[in-house]
């Protein structure tokens, strides 16, 4: 497909200027087949459809990308972005002031810090992050989870097919990083009808991604009864024996669950948390 067609397809998808059935049966397969071969459509979606690019390069990205870089040095890495359409009604993603404090933050990962600073300044998109080489050699699954034009009753089937394509793309990876906007949720069927389910990662998908290999699962901590300590322990129990958690509370409370970690990854994670300990990062193992 020519570049202009990539952008045209993405623009039509998000503007809803096409019939729902045409969207579902024709444009989705064409666009997402192309995604297997090039990040160009991802960039077109970023421009025409406005994915959640406002997070790119924020403090959350710095912590999570630094963590992945620290533990994945000798592993084949796959990234499932869980791209969701932009929600410009709120101010999420504004936490980039750390880039103006290099004396405090840059020494933690100088190359990554400089890369993210350039990304925020020049082109703040997920596609730009991929192209920057922030995660050298990574394989990306970048198909967006766009369900606005899909009837609520058909969203469960759409998600099942979307996840199947994602796992197929990352099948050969030793380590998978899953990066949903909001993080983990239970598997209640009603969730799959919700338009915003694309921001969440049900426990069944997390376990599937981690089956037979290591995985890092992003979770944005919630108002869980009993507070965050109990929430983290609950999800560790659901993700399986041996799961460790990296708690990162700078600006906002996040947890990175590492499922099936090898001894080498455990050691690297502990070293990472020690290095970042002055920035509200700690290990729960």
Q: What is the tens place of the pLDDT at every residue in 75-109?
A: 999 999 999 987 665 554 578 999 999 999 999 99
Structural domain span for residue 20: 1-49
Identify whether residues 40 and 180 lie together within a single domain: no
Identify whether residues 128 and 148 lie together within a single domain: yes
Identify whether residues 32 and 92 lie together within a single domain: no
pTM of the model as a whole: 0.82
Q: Percent of the chain scored above 90 by pLDDT?
A: 69
Nearest 10 degrees: CA dihedral of 98, 103, 106, 110?
A: 150
Identify whether residues 71 and 36 lie together within a single domain: no
Identify whether residues 40 and 81 lie together within a single domain: no
Identify whether residues 188 and 116 lie together within a single domain: yes
Q: Identify the CATH number of the domain in which residue 195 sits.
A: 3.40.50.150
Is residue 9 scored above 70 in pLDDT?
no
> Of the candidates 49, 69, 86, which is a domain's last residue?
49
pLDDT digits (tens, 9 = 90+) for 124-159: 999 999 999 999 999 999 999 988 889 999 999 999
Q: What mean pLDDT is predicted for residues 250-277?
A: 97
> What count of other Cβ atoms lies within 10 Å of the Cβ of residue 64?
18
Three-state DSSP at 248 gives: strand
> Of the candidates 49, 69, 84, which is a domain's last residue?
49
- In the numeric block, the tokens 């991604």 are attached to 209
Counted domains in the chain: 2
Identify how many contiguous H helices and E strands the chain contains and give both numbers.
Answer: 12, 9
Helix 3-15 to helix 28-35 angle (10° resolution) is 130
CA distances in angstroms from 62 to 12, 50, 204, 215, listed in the order given = 33, 21, 27, 19
CA distances in angstroms from 52 to 43, 143, 180, 191, listed in the order given = 12, 13, 11, 21
Identify whether residues 112 and 138 lie together within a single domain: yes
78 DSSP β-pair partners: 139, 176
Identify whether residues 186 and 210 lie together within a single domain: yes
Identify whether residues 98 and 15 lie together within a single domain: no
Identify whether residues 17 and 75 lie together within a single domain: no
pLDDT digits (tens, 9 = 90+) for 197-241: 989 999 999 999 999 999 999 999 998 887 999 999 999 999 999
Identify whether residues 39 and 169 lie together within a single domain: no
Identify whether residues 140 and 108 lie together within a single domain: yes
């Amino acid at each position: 497909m020519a570049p202009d067609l990539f952008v045209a397809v993405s623009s039509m998808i998000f503007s809803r200027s096409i019939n729902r059935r045409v969207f579902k049966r024709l444009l989705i397969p064409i666009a997402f087949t192309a995604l297997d071969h090039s990040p160009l459509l991802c960039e077109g979606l970023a421009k025409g459809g406005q994915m959640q690019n406002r997070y790119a390069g924020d403090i959350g990205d710095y912590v999570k990308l630094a963590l992945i870089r620290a533990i994945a040095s000798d592993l084949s890495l796959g990234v499932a972005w869980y791209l969701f359409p932009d929600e410009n009604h709120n101010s999420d993603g504004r936490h980039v002031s750390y880039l103006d404090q290099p004396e405090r933050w840059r020494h933690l990962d100088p190359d990554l810090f400089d890369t993210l600073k350039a990304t925020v300044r020049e082109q703040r998109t997920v596609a730009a992050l991929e192209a920057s080489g922030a995660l050298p050699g990574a394989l990306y699954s970048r198909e967006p989870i766009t369900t606005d034009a899909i009837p609520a009753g058909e969203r469960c089937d759409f998600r099942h097919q979307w996840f199947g394509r994602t796992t197929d793309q990352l099948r050969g990876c030793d380590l998978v990083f899953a990066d949903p906007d909001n993080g983990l949720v239970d598997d209640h069927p009603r969730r799959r009808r919700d338009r915003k389910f694309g921001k969440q990662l049900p426990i069944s998908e997390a376990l599937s991604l981690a089956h037979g290999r290591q995985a890092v699962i992003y979770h944005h901590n919630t108002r869980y009864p009993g507070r965050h300590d109990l929430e983290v322990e609950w999800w560790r129990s659901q993700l399986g024996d041996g799961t460790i958690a990296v708690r990162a509370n700078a600006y906002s409370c996040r947890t990175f669950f590492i499922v099936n970690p090898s001894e080498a990854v455990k050691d690297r994670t502990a070293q990472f948390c020690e290095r970042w300990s002055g920035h509200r990062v700690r290990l729960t193992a």
